Structure 1
Amino acid sequence: MSQDFAGRTVIVTGAAHGFGRAIAAAFAARGARVWACDRQAEGLAETAPLLGPNGAVRTVDITDRAAVQALVAEAEAASADGAVDVLVNNAGGVLGQVGRPIEEIDAAAWQSIFDVNLSGAFWCAQAVAPGMKRRGGGRIVNISSGAGLGVSLTGIQAYASAKAGQIGLTRQLAHELGAWGITVNNVAPGFVRSNPTTERQWEAMGEAGQARLLGAIALHRLGTVDDIAAAVLFFASESAGWISGQVLSVDGGK
């Protein structure tokens, strides 16, 4: 199975750490010109050396539609055929929120999680779609969560809802864009200790909670960021050319 992305233009959002950094580095290692973006400039500076001489990092807030359009225009202008080949919508998260009873959730807390996890993915897909249509193909890979297929371990209602919405968006866009040879798929990771937020969640579980989590996984171990990157590379590869609208749970087996 070939995973050579030489000459391909790839955008990875949320690339300052964790999944995004691993995904961006994996594409770069396989020859892609990677545009890694995040709103955390300090983390992006650590990602940059992993992208090689053809990589680029940009500080972008994906909830800002105009900023997303500008990033895509820059990437397209630098591309040989004026289009982005692969978009990975990885940016998201809980934005520092913790689980609270439903009656305590205000409008700002609810909306902010939807903005980054769902609306941001939509803005990015909207921005790359015209170029992909002109070129006659492309790959969009969304990073959802096991929370989008079940319930959130954090108990954050907006996070589970937004990630479920992203899965619905994946299926809808797959049907809308398929006529132009554009595939749209979704990777739903299980719990991975990939960033400061998940580290805090892991510690908060305590030994008993950690044991329960591991016991519920068929392989009895946590995954790694490279496990998630491998699934993204598959969906972006030629081997997945007739796969679209699908959700792949990468969770060690539930």
Structure 2
Amino acid sequence: MAERFTNQTVIVTGAAHGFGQAIAHAFAWEGAAVWACDLNAQGLGETARLAHHDGLTIQTRSVDVSDGAAVSAFVAEVVAATNRIDVLVNNAGGVLGQVGRPLEEISPLDWRSIFAVNVDGAFFFAQAVAQQMKAQQSGRIINISSGAGLGISLTGIQAYASAKAAQIGLTRQLAHELGAWGITVNNVAPGFVRSNPTTERQWQSYGEEGQRKLLDGIALKRLGTPEDIAAAVLFFASEQARWITGQILSVDGGK
């Protein structure tokens, strides 16, 4: 077992399934002390169970990433327990069950709720870990956006495309603000991956013709996996990426 992250403390948000679950497991497998959070208690339990099956331990907590006070309390607990935070992965996000609708049908709550989890959460967590990372003179912040933030969203959800673009802007801004303390801030932009119930429903909604069209638009002619996204995150967190910051890595099979 390669253990690139032994003695490191890693926080992964949105870790109940999909990308977050794969990322948390990958860091634990490589020796990190992983603290995983989500609002989905059942999914978090499965994340912990899968780790235990491999002889690993992942600490799990229920945290609403859109609640700044809850985020600060969680980060304080992690620091009190481990005295450091080496990596923050802002993976929490998604469409919150929304589907594409005409612009004029979107309520303020529809718009704001997607920004709250995809952008506010990343901001609150980065803000909460900054003091500890500055004290250490080191740290890695990795945000998980989407191809939707670089182009358009296959979901047709205006707020989702806008929120992911905003998160990419936050990545670039924080990279310049925090770089003087040895903190890198990067972004992984996944393509379409069948990683959770929402993306599975989306895939099925395309039908055979739509699925074939989507695959034909990918250079490698196949969908990726959550493990492909985790691999990119671990690269940004590794020593090999020590002089890379403010970058967006598209992990999408080639467009």
- Contact 1:83 1:128 (C-alpha < 8 Å) held by counterparts: no
Counterpart in 2 of 1:192? 193
For residues 168 and 125 of structure 1, the distance between their equivalents in structure 2, rounded to whole angstroms, comes to: 14
SS in structure 2 at match of 1:35: strand
Counterpart in 2 of 1:58? 61
Alignment of 1:245 onto 2:246: yes
Counterpart in 1 of 2:17? 17
Alignment of 1:156 onto 2:172: no
Alignment of 1:201 onto 2:202: yes
- Contact 1:12 1:36 (C-alpha < 8 Å) held by counterparts: yes
Q: 1:207 to 1:192 in 2, by over 3 A?
A: same
- Contact 2:9 2:84 (C-alpha < 8 Å) held by counterparts: yes
TM superposition score normalised by structure 1: 0.97
Unpaired runs of 5+ residues, structure 2, are none
**RMSD over aligned Cα atoms:** 0.9
Tell me how far 1:54 sits from its aligned partner. 4.1
For residues 77 and 54 of structure 1, the distance between their equivalents in structure 2, rounded to whole angstroms, comes to: 18
For residues 78 and 202 of structure 2, the distance between their equivalents in structure 1, rounded to whole angstroms, comes to: 36
The correspondence of residues 74-153 of structure 1 with structure 2, limited to 5 A, is 74-79=77-82, 82-153=83-154
For residues 30 and 120 of structure 1, the distance between their equivalents in structure 2, rounded to whole angstroms, comes to: 26
- Contact 1:86 1:236 (C-alpha < 8 Å) held by counterparts: yes
For residues 34 and 42 of structure 1, the distance between their equivalents in structure 2, rounded to whole angstroms, comes to: 18
Give the fraction of aligned pairs with identical amino acids, expressed as a percent: 72
- Contact 1:65 1:123 (C-alpha < 8 Å) held by counterparts: yes
Tell me how far 1:49 sits from its aligned partner. 2.4
CA offsets 1:4-50 (integer angstroms, 9 cap, x no match):
10010000000000000000000000000000000000100000123
Once the two structures are overlaid, the 10-residue window that deviates more, 15-24 or 3-12, is: 3-12
Counterpart in 2 of 1:231? 232
TM superposition score normalised by structure 2: 0.97
- Report the residue type matching 2:10 in the other structure: V
For residues 244 and 3 of structure 2, the distance between their equivalents in structure 1, rounded to whole angstroms, comes to: 16
- Contact 2:24 2:58 (C-alpha < 8 Å) held by counterparts: no
- Contact 1:15 1:38 (C-alpha < 8 Å) held by counterparts: yes
- Report the residue type matching 2:139 in the other structure: G
